[in-house]
Every structure is written in structure tokens, then in C-alpha cells.
Amino acid sequence: MKTKKLYTLWIGFLGIFLALGFYTVIRLYTKGSDTVFHADDTIPWTLLIASYVFFVLTSTGATIVASLSMVFGFSRFDPIVKRSLFIGLIALIAGFISMGLELGDPLHMFYYFISPNLKSPIWWMGAFYMSLLIILSIKFWQIHKRIGSEKIKKILSISALILEIAALTTLGSVFGFIEARPTFFGEFIQVYFLFSSIIAGISAIFFFSLIVYKLKYNGIPKSLTRMYESLSKIFAAFIGITLLFSIWRILIGLYANRPEFDALSYMVETWHYRIEIFIGLMVPFAIMIIPNFRKTFSGKLLAAILVFVGLGIERMNMVMLGQIHPIFPHFLESESIISYFPTIWEWSIAMFSLTIMLFLYTLGEKYLDLETHNVSTK
Amino acid sequence: MKKDNKKSRRKFLRYTFGAGLGTLIGLPLLSNSTGHDDKPLSGDKIKLLTTDGKVIEVDKNQLQNMTSYAKPAVDKAARQGIPNRKFVMVIDLSRCKNARACVESCQYAHQLRPEQEFIKVLKMQDTEKTAPYWFPKPCFHCDNATCVDVCPVYATYKRDDGLVLIDSDRCIGCKYCMVACPYEARVFHWKKPFREEEFEGIEYSPETSVPVKQGTVGKCDFCPDLARNDKLPHCATACPEGVIYFGDMYEDTVTNGYETHRLSELIEKKSAYRYLPHYGTEPNVYYLPPVDRIYPFDETENS
Ligand code: SF4
Ligand code: SF4
């Protein structure tokens, strides 16, 4: 009874954000992009690009975790394969929603297919992620329906992993190849994306599965504690690596002798950058390396939530870092830092993407039996 | 003498401005102002620029298509460029006094909103010890343009005549080109197009960049529709100081409408340079340094 009430409340909560999102979409296409976006040519990429990066990298991370079992044969992780794949799929859909709504003229998208520019990183990124959407859907369906030969399953699993890595590094190159904007951090960002996507994936898996376990079994089922302990250690290691990269990013930026890096000096002073580093990485790292915290249910859940939220802020900081410094070194009148804060409507679309993801997850949990094993509560 | 020339030139420009739309959108030009058929007069007057530079008002029904007028190219032709040409611009920084006539004429011709500028006039200062100067900045039509490389759908493309144009019928509005251009030369059409009714029904051409389409990207196009008719870009014609020279690299010649120079000579003798060349973009806009200035730098000047 209590669960039913909670469920109704939850659906109602999602409904509010869905309605707001739909209203914003209608507003975008009837009243024009200037009524929704920050609409400033010096900051062409807004919150929605950050939200796209956030979701697709979460998708990549979740698929990489699924690959531990699907590709590398670590059977201990079998129980989370289905859920991880599903998270990979719905995060990708959420990413596409953010990107699709960012586009000024999505109706022209058919030129993407009939007139491809193979030199463009964005073209490749789109191609990889679209292929992934198809492959992940087939893969998930196979597991759900328990169909498909072992050979085909393996080929699909390997293709998904290769495509994820290709997509992730291409996404990095979308930013990194822009020579005039060194604060996107060139090739560095590709490596950073890889590590941060893994923690994004694990945090999403933790978050979703732990809440389900809480509701269903009032805690992590005994049969799965060892697997979650292993995953927590992997989580700790990759949070540590991501943190290390973040610190290097700051140091490289602060010692760089180019005016554009003023953006970084500015950024490290801001509250959102501090949240990214301290709350989004350091605190969860501490939670995950101290066994007494790591082993607890709430320790894991808290670390997952902090990383999830911290990465959301990180993607935003990353997208802004490349844009907030004007690229005219001789222009006296230009502000040294261009200010930007997302409009309420940009927030609404980002929340819309997240809500769709949460909504799909709720449906998946209800109708698709995301538990691969019959878990025991003993 | 020179001053008189300038005066009359200014007057001419003011009229051209009014008639600019007629020229720009390829409306039929006047071939015979006395009328050529039996159509009754409509009473609807239109301002036009005659081939000898006069602006006249004629009745709409007196217009007749002139076969010699080259219309702006569309579709494939707009992608190929004008044969055997390689366009180049030279901007003389020693003459610019921020009159902003270039900005305004460009905005008018390209259906831009007051806050949108394809050509910007920026206040620049190289070091604290050197004097500031005005710096008109259009798109540089780079030979190695990053905007062209990054566009996923080839909406931005490079033509044989050196121009980098945008096909708004193709642009998906991803804004990657805006982020990738090292010169911030691009603007996004965030808002509903300005003066929409005036441009209604006109065939879109990447050579004119009008009618503007909301949700797509725009930028300086070097006015190839005018070049097809041996005319200078709007900015060059509008500038009262003759700051902007336009020409052809193959012919090694540039002109601002009343002075013509060898491009190679300007580059060599006046130490022309290109802006931020270290990006390797190979811009096709050269700057003559702000030395021996005609006007002292005046921040309040804006006329
Ligand atoms: S100045 Fe910018 S927009 Fe113009 S051609 Fe060069 S890179 Fe492209
Ligand atoms: S905004 Fe338009 S022109 Fe620019 S890269 Fe995207 S599709 Fe190409």
C-alpha cells in the first residue's frame, strides 16, 4: 500500500516536469529560440550541450560496466548487465532529446544522412551514437527475451563496447579539436571523458539499483553484496583517477601562458567548480575508500548521488570553460569573462531529458524485469 | 577635388541604400524608364539605381527583366562559385574612423536585426603603449576554414572563387561552426527574422543570405550576388572613407570604388597582414596597419 502511494507520488512528480518540458518544447517551436535560450552569439553552446554530454557519457559508462560481464567474462557482474544496458539505452535517449532540442533547425537533419561531412567530428559522433542506440536496443531485447545465439550476442557486445569508446573519444574531439579554444583542453579531454564516463555509469547504476533494492528488499540482497563491493572498489579507483585528472587540468590551466586560461583562473574560484571538485569527487572518493562507509548502503547511495550531481555540474563547467573567454586578445572593450547562467527554460529542457530518463526507468523497472537473476534476500 | 568626389559619392551611397533592396534581391532592373509595353501605371513607385549611378523612382509596371543582370545563384551553381575568380578583401586601418556605414548597409542588405552584425567594428589596441584603432572585422573567407571542416552537413562550404558561404536551407543549427571559428565571425538567427514581410516571396540564395531563416547561422558572404554584376560588396560601397578594398587575387587588383591598387604592392609596401594567422586558417582578408592615420582615434566619433 505504502509502495503504491509512493509510486503514485513519484509518477505525479515526474508528470510535473514532463508537462513543464512539453510546454517548453511548444514554446521553443512556436515563439522562437530566443524565448528559450540565453541567445548570445558569444556563448553559442548552452546548458543543453552540457546536458547532452552528461547523458551520453553516463550511457557510455553504464555500457562499459555491462561489458565487464558481456565482453570480458567477469560473471560476478552478470546480475547488473540487464539494468546497466537499460540505463545505457535510456541515458542515450535523454542525451538525444537534449541535443535535438538544442538544434536550431532539426527539420534539416535529413541532410545529415544525404550530405555527410566525414571531416566533421560531430558527424562521426552522431553516427556512433545512433548506431549504439540500435545495437543497445537489440542487445537489450536479446537479454530480455533470452534469444539470440551466443556468437551474435558476443559480436554485438564487442561492437557496443568499441562503438562506445569510439563515440566517447569522438565526443572529446568535438571539443578538443577546436584550436581557438584551448580551454576545452585538446586531447586531454578525451582521456578525461573516458574516466569520468565510467564513474558516471557506475553512479547511475548504483543510484537506480540501490533505490530499487531499498524499496523491494530494504537493502542490497545478500547474494549481491560481493558484487557491489567489487563495483564500489572500481568506483573508488575511477573517482580517484578522475580527481587526479581534474587536479591536473587545473594545474595545466593555471600554468599555461595563454590569456584564454584566465577562464580557468576565474572558474576555479566559482562555487560550482568547487562543488564539482570537493562535493562531486573528493567527498565520494573519501566515502568509497573508507571501508566502514563504503560497505554501508547509505555510503554507496550517497557517493553515487554526489558523483551524479557533481558530474552534471562538471559537464556544464567544461562546456563553459571553452566559451567564457572572448577569443580576441587585442579587443580592449571585450569583457575578460563572459557571464552566462542558464535560463529557466534551458533548465526546463535539461530537466525534461532527465525526467524522460527517470520515467523510462520507472517503466523498465515495472514492466521489463531488470533483475537478471532471481535475487535472494537471505 | 577629392573632397567633392567624396561628397557626391556619399550622396550616391545614401540613395543606393534606399534602392539596395531592389538590387540585392534580383528584382527586375529598369531597362527603359519610358515604359516598354502597354501595361497601365500601377501608381506603386519603386526606387532604383541606374547603371550610371543615379537613383530614380519609377512605376512598378515600367520594370522589365534585363537579360544581362546576373541573378544570385541557387542550388548547385551557388556551391561552385564564379569561374576564374578568387576574391580578396583589404581593409585599411589607417582610414577607419568608426563611421559604421559598412555595418549598417550590411545589416540592411542582409535583413539583420540591429544587434546582429556580419561586419563588426571593434576597438583594438595592440599594447598599452600603442594607440587604439578601429578594426572592421568581416568573415575572413579562410582558405583553410575550420567552420567548413566542422559542419556536419556541408551547410557551410568553400567555393572555387574562395568564398565560404552558408546554405541556410541545409543548416541544422548545431552552432559548431560558431564555436570553431577563431574569429567569432558568425551570428545565430535566434529571433524571428527582421523585416520579414519585405523579404517574403524572394528566392533564397546562399549568395545573398536572405531571406533569413530563424534557427540557422549567418555570416558575411562578401556579397557574391553583387560581384556577379561587377559591383563591390555593400560594406565597401557604403564606407565614406574608402577603408574597404575588394578585388580578385588572380587579377592582383583591389579597389574601394575610387582607388585601385595592386594587391601584391599593398601587401609588400604597406606591410599588409592577416589577423591571427597562427591558427593556420589562411584568411582572405588583409589589413593595412593603422599607421599615418587620417583621423586621430576618437572614441566618440560615430558618424
Ligand atoms: S573567419 Fe570564421 S567563419 Fe569566416 S571562413 Fe574563417 S573560420 Fe569560417
Ligand atoms: S550551425 Fe549550420 S552551418 Fe554551422 S556547423 Fe551546424 S549545420 Fe553547419
Q: What are A53-111's pLDDT values in tens digits?
A: 999 999 999 999 999 999 998 989 999 999 999 999 999 999 999 999 999 999 999 99
Query: For residues A168 and A166, what is the distance between their CA atoms, to the nearest angstrom?
Result: 5
Does the CA dihedral A37-A41-A46-A49 come out positive or negative? positive
Copy the grid coordinates of residue B188.
545565430
Task: Give yes or no for a contact between A121 and B180, defined as CB atoms under 8 angstroms apart.
Answer: no
- Flag if B175 and A104 touch (Cβ within 8 Å): yes
pLDDT in tens, A284-335: 999 999 999 999 999 999 999 999 999 999 999 999 999 998 876 666 555 6
Does B142 lie in the same domain as B200?
yes
Query: For residues A346 and A316, what is the distance between their CA atoms, to the nearest angstrom?
Result: 12
Does B187 lie in the same domain as B239?
yes
Task: Give yes or no for a contact between B142 and B101, defined as CB atoms under 8 angstroms apart.
Answer: no
Does B95 lie in the same domain as B37?
no
Task: Give yes or no for a contact between A53 and A160, defined as CB atoms under 8 angstroms apart.
Answer: no
Q: Which of B11, B36, B68 is the last residue of a domain?
A: B68
Alpha carbon distances (Å) from B28 to A65, A203, A265, B203: 66, 65, 58, 13
Task: Give yes or no for a contact between B217 and B175, defined as CB atoms under 8 angstroms apart.
Answer: yes
Does B27 lie in the same domain as B146?
no
Residues of B in contact with A263 (CB under 8 A): none
pLDDT at B65: 60
Does B245 lie in the same domain as B154?
yes
Query: For residues B230 and A212, what is the distance between their CA atoms, to the nearest angstrom?
Result: 72
pLDDT at A373: 58
What CATH number does residue B284 fall under? 3.30.70.20
Does B282 lie in the same domain as B144?
yes
Copy the grid coordinates of residue B238.
557604403
Torsion of CA B139, B203, B78, B135, to 10 degrees: -10
Alpha carbon distances (Å) from B131 to A222, B45, B92, B157: 75, 49, 16, 38
Q: Band of the pLDDT at A217, cuts 50, 70, 90?
A: confident
Nearest CA in chain B to A106: B172
pLDDT at A20: 97
pLDDT at A375: 43
Choose from B179, B212, B281 for mutation: most chain A CBs within 10 A. B179
Does B250 lie in the same domain as B115?
yes
What is the phi/psi pair of residue A69, to 5°? -90, -45
Does B33 lie in the same domain as B175?
no
B301 occurs within a structural domain: no
Does B89 lie in the same domain as B57?
no
Tell whether the model's pLDDT for residue A279 goes beyond 80: yes
**CA nearest to A324, candidates A140, A179, A228, A183:** A183
Q: Which domain holds residue B11?
A: 2-68
Helix A344-367, helix A78-102: angle, nearest 10? 150
- Flag if B172 and A105 touch (Cβ within 8 Å): yes
- Flag if B214 and A104 touch (Cβ within 8 Å): yes
* Mean pLDDT of all residues in A366-376: 71
B296 occurs within a structural domain: no
Q: Band of the pLDDT at A369, cuts 50, 70, 90?
A: confident
Q: Please, is A274 exposed, middle or buried when counting C-beta atoms within 10 Å of its C-beta (0-12, 13-18, 19+)?
A: middle
Q: Which of B53, B68, B83 is the last residue of a domain?
A: B68
Does B233 lie in the same domain as B107?
yes
Task: Give, for B61, the enclosing helix (H) or strand (E).
Answer: none
Specify the number of domains making up chain B: 2
Torsion of CA A85, A87, A93, A97, to 10 degrees: -160
> Among the residues of A256-296, which ranges form H helices?
262-268, 271-274, 283-289, 291-294
Mind telling me how many Å the CA of A123 is from chain B's nearest CA?
Answer: 5
DSSP of A5-22, one letter per residue?
HHHHHHHHHHHHHHHHHH
Which residues lie below 8 Å from residue A7, measured CB to CB, with a gap of 6+? none
Q: Band of the pLDDT at A258, cuts 50, 70, 90?
A: confident
Q: Which of B25, B47, B68 is the last residue of a domain?
A: B68
- Flag if B171 and A326 touch (Cβ within 8 Å): no
pLDDT at A282: 97
Q: Is A257 on the interface with B (CB under 8 A)?
A: no
B298 occurs within a structural domain: no
Mind telling me how many Å the CA of B193 is from chain A's nearest CA?
Answer: 10
Does B14 lie in the same domain as B161?
no
Percent with pLDDT over 70 in chain A: 96
Domains present along chain A, CATH in parentheses:
2-367 (1.20.1630.10)
pLDDT at A29: 93
Which residues lie below 8 Å from residue A238, measured CB to CB, with a gap of 6+? A195, A198, A199, A202
Mind telling me how many Å the CA of B74 is from chain A's nearest CA?
Answer: 17
Q: Where are the beta strands (DSSP E) in chain A?
A: none
pLDDT at B31: 34
Query: For residues A37 and B173, what is the distance between their CA atoms, to the nearest angstrom?
Result: 13
pLDDT at B58: 80
Does B273 lie in the same domain as B141?
yes
Whether ipTM > 0.95 holds is no
Q: What is the pLDDT along chain B (303 residues), one digit of tens a residue?
A: 333 343 333 333 333 333 333 333 333 333 333 334 456 788 888 766 544 344 567 887 777 665 567 888 888 899 999 999 999 999 999 999 999 999 999 999 999 999 999 999 998 888 778 888 999 999 999 999 999 999 999 999 999 999 999 999 999 999 999 999 999 999 999 999 989 988 888 899 999 999 999 999 999 999 999 999 999 999 999 999 999 999 999 999 999 998 999 999 999 999 999 998 889 999 999 999 998 887 778 776 554
B295 occurs within a structural domain: no
